[in-house]
A and B are shown apart, each in its own frame.
Chain A
Amino acid sequence: MRIAGLRLKALDLAAVAAALAVIVLASVRAYGGRSGAEQLHLRGPGREWVYPLGADRTVTVSGPLGDTVVEIRGGQARVLSSPCAEKICVRSGAIARPGQWIACLPNRVFLDVQGHARRSADAISF
C-alpha cells in the first residue's frame, strides 16, 4: 500500500489500528457506561448542593422553619429529621435511583437523585 510515495507496511497499519482501538476504548471509558455515578441534588431556599451518592455524609439544610437533616449512607439518601409538622419527607424513606425525589414543602427543601438511569423496570408482574 502506497501513500504519497511511501510504502506502508502491514505492521504500520497494525500500529494505526492499535492506536484507533485505544482511542475507541478511551472514548467508551470517558463518555459512556458510567451508570454508577449518581448524584444527590439538594435544594434549600435559594441554594443548591450536589453530593455524590457514593460517599457517606450527613448534611443540614436550613429552611424557613429550621434545619432539615439529610443523610447519605450506603448509596441512599433520606431525610433524618425535619422541623415540619407532617414529617412526610421523613416518612418518604430513602431514595437511591435517578429520578427519585423527596420534598419537604413547609421547609422548602427538595432532594432528588440524578445520573444516568439504569434501565430497570419499576415493577414486573407475571
Chain B
Amino acid sequence: MRSASEPGGPWERPVALAAAVCLFLSSIEYLIPKPLPFLRLGLANLPLLVCLDLLPAGPFLLLLALKAIGQGLVQGSLFSVIFLFSAAGTLASGAVMLGSRRLLGDRISLIGISVLGALASNLVQLALAGAVAFGPSAWLIAPPFLAVGLVSSAVLGALAQGYVRRSAFLRRLRRLQRRGGGRTLKT
C-alpha cells in the first residue's frame, strides 16, 4: 500500500486527521465537568469508530496509539500510571472493535461495536486498577462504571453510525479511495 511519493503511505493523512480530531475531542471532553471521575463520555473514541471501516488494521492501530498519547497529553497523565490504564483501555477497545467488525461484518452496527469496545476498555482498566493500585476493592466501583460506559458508548455508537451514513466528507473520501486506490486521499 506504500507509495513512493508519500513516505508514510497513503493512510498517513487520514490517520493524522483522525488523530487530530481525537486530540481536539479529548480537550473538549476535558473541558466538560465531571461530577464523578468515572463519569466519562469517551468523545475521543468517535474518530476511532468512524475510521473503523475506513482504515486497514495497521493504520488503525497507529491511530489507537496516537489517540492514547493525545489523551495523555491533554489530561496531563502521559507520564503517570493513569496513562498505562488509559492506553491499555484504548488498545483493548480497539482490538475488540477491529475483531468484532472482522468476525461479525455487517451484522453488527457501530452501536454494538462501540458498546463492545467500551466494555473491553472498562474491564481492562478495572482489572489493571485491581492488579496495580487498589486491590480487589476496585471491583466495587465496577457496576456504575460499566453502566455509565454502556450508556455513553451506545450514544457515541449511534452518533458515529449516523455520521458515517450521512457525511458528505466521508462519501467523497470513499469515492477518491476507490478511484485512486488510496493514493489521492487528500484531506
Contact = CB atoms under 8 A, between A and B. Distances in A.
B142 interface: yes
B158 A26 contact: no
Residues of A in contact with B, size category: 20 to 34
Tell me the dominant secondary structure on chain A's binding face: helix
Given A22-B146, A23-B146, A26-B146, A16 B158 contact: no
Residues of B in contact with A, size category: 20 to 34
A22 B116 CA distance: 11
Contacts of A29: 139, 142
A6 interface: yes
A7 B115 CA distance: 15
Interface string B94-112: 0000001000100111011
A6 B143 contact: no
Interface string A2-31: 011111111111111011101100110111
A19 B143 contact: no
Contacts of B112: 9, 11-16
B162 A6 contact: yes
- Among A5, A6, A26, A27, chain B packs the most CB atoms within 10 A around the CB of A26
Given A14-B112, A16-B112, 16 more contacts: A6-B109, A6-B158, A9-B109, A9-B112, A11-B104, A11-B108, A12-B109, A15-B100, A15-B116, A15-B119, A19-B119, A19-B149, A26-B146, A29-B142, A30-B141, A30-B142
Interface of A: 3-16, 18-20, 22-23, 26-27, 29-31
